[in-house]
Structure 1
Amino acid sequence: MASADPTDLPVLVERDDVEAVTTVRLNRPDSRNALTVELKVALRDALQEVAEDDSVRAVILASSGPAFCVGQDLREHAESLRSESTPGGSLDTVTEHYNPIAAALAGMPKPVVASITGTTVGAGLGFVLACDLRVAAAGTKFATAFSGIGFGGDSGLSATLAHCVGASRATDLLMLGDTFTAEEARDWGIVREVAADAEATEAAALALGRRLAAGPTVAYAEIKKAVALGTVSQLGEVLAHEAQAQVKLGATQDHRDAVEAFLAKEKPTFHGR
């Protein structure tokens, strides 16, 4: 029996062990990476795997094909709605898949860069907003899309979008569902760079991932925690957290080596410990 073609998997994990960067790629290009249960389970498990792998120092979330992700596969969802005896049972996917995926991206103990190379709506938008940094291809269109099918947001979008663009604009985008461009996303602070096309976007994201992988990844993890805390907490709580983090980071080899390199007027080398 012929073995399965690995490129047919719903999620591809592409490792660059030399640069310590791993790309997790949505891989249903013919369906514009619409989110089936199979894809969601594979993505959730892949993210957990790279989170636990200490050899991975930066992660890129990418996709195959002309769309990044159009959100939930509504054909599969409609079949579930028609067949279930208890209304709402199909929405268990929020707690089983969407929430863990968003939490894995946001809580990843290493930097995550989203390489956005096409239409990104619904949970797809939620996933990229759960990443730390984002690069988008020119021509990419974004939308929340949820209200168009009688839903509110999921995948953390209600919080992450508001943190990026403010509560007023987030409410507008969630209620009205209007599309916005990569250039608007850049101007609003959602993406850091708009590249010329998909190829340039992937190259820019990889360069950014390599830069981050060569940096103080233990410090990056603490920065992620502090920024997340700072969006929901009072200043006193953030100050206490920062103090604890600095004590922890002050004991790392990365910090000690970087201080010595600074005094010697040399470029520091970080090892993530």
Structure 2
Amino acid sequence: MNFSPRESSPTESGGHDGQAGTEERDDAATPSRPTDSWILHATDNGVAWITLNRPRVLNALAPDQRDSLISLFSRASADHAVRAVVLTGAGKGFCAGADLRTAPASQAVAARPPGEVARLIKLGAQRLISAVLDCEKPVIAAVNGVAAGLGAHLAWACDLVLAAESARFTEVFVRRGLVPDGGGTYLLPRLVGPRRAKELMFFGDALGAAEAERFGLVNRVVPDEELPTAARAWAQRLANGPTQALSLTKQLVNASLDVGRAPAFAAEAAAQEINAATADAAEGIAAFVERRPPEFRGC
């Protein structure tokens, strides 16, 4: 499945629903396969394409790979040449969650000093989810296949979610005897409500793409072979849009879930004041008056 801005042929692999930990470790970092090959990234026509590239372990996230993702989202947020971001996975999985075999995740919990687990989560999985939520550009998740644990939360953190028919979402933590982390207990209740969130997290059952769409977790479900085209079309529409207005809209919607009406209304008015001074706002109004399509420049 090709998600790059140009033609490519990512290696495909077999898959299952769940976090990495049962797959063979045959793509570990070696002198001939550095960890930076685990994430492919390129910017094309205003769209930053980020592809998780460990298909043989369903793109499970090792700590170095997670940190690289955080850096890429930070760079995309600050780069004026980037006006939209697409996140996807190579092969048959979007992301199988945290790679539980990699240190320090593989260390016995009992061997860690008090507070160490919380520190690792705050500086690791939660920091990654925050990087997606705080990215000033709209982010599309193009979910192909398995999205489990942290991988599911990575999709939930994106602004828009496109899913292939083969996509499967699993709150896998309960299967490992773990509490959901990586922002899951914050994101999921806000997307589907507390009862649905508890059902998904208590049982850890896989949720198919069509049902995820019905729950409101997915914007669109498309045939597997159409996912790259659909992601490219949406990303290009966003990249051609008024970037500052989209950024402010994203911030307002995300913040609205945690504040009352008065501060939400005040933030909305302040955002409109800021946006009114942009060139794209002037262009949008001029285009309306002149009865022509606007040509936004992202500033």
- TM-score normalised by length of structure 2: 0.84
Matches within 5 A, 1:108-123: 108-123=135-150
1:7 shift after superposition? 9.5
188, 194, 215: which one aligns with 2:221: 194
Which aligned pairs between 1:241-252 and structure 2 lie closer than 5 A?
Answer: 241-252=267-278
Report the equivalent of 1:177. 204
CA distance 1:27–1:84, change in 2 (3 Å): farther
Q: RMSD of the alignment, in Å?
A: 1.9
How do 1:104-183 and structure 2 match up within 5 A?
A: 104-183=131-210
Question: Which deviates more, 70-79 or 42-51?
Answer: 70-79
3-state SS of paired residue (1:75): coil
1:216 is the counterpart of 2:242: yes
DSSP 3-state at the match of 1:270: coil
Confirm or deny: 8 A CA contact 1:8 1:27 kept in the other structure. Answer: no
- Which residue number corresponds to residue 257 of structure 2? 231
CA shift, 1:249, in A, is 0.8
Deviates more, 1:81-90 or 1:166-175: 81-90
Q: Is the 8 A contact 1:81 1:90 kept in 2?
A: no
- Listed as ranges, the gaps of 5+ residues in structure 2 are 1-30
Deviations 1:23-64 (A, max 9, x none): 111111111111211211221122222222111000001111
Shift of 1:4: 5.6
Name the structure where helix makes up a greater proportion of residues. 1
User: Match for 2:38: what amino acid?
Assistant: P
User: In 2, distance between residues paired with 1:245 and 1:8?
Assistant: 38
Any conservation in 2 of the 1:109–1:221 contact (CA below 8 Å)?
Answer: yes
Q: Offset of 1:79 from its aligned partner?
A: 3.1
Equivalent pair of 2:35/2:65 in contact (CA under 8 Å): no
Amino acid at match of 2:156: L
CA shift for structure 1 position 126? 0.6
Structure 1 unaligned regions, length at least 5: none
Deviation by residue 1:161-201 (Cα, 9 ceiling, x = unmatched): 1121111101111111111110011111111111111x311
Indicate which of 202, 205, 219 corresponds to 2:231.
Answer: 205
SS at match of 2:102: helix
Of residues 20, 38, 44 in structure 2, which corresponds to 1:10?
Answer: 38
Aligned identity (percent) is 34
Contact 2:125/2:182 (<8 A) preserved:
yes
**Is 1:73 aligned with 2:78?**
no
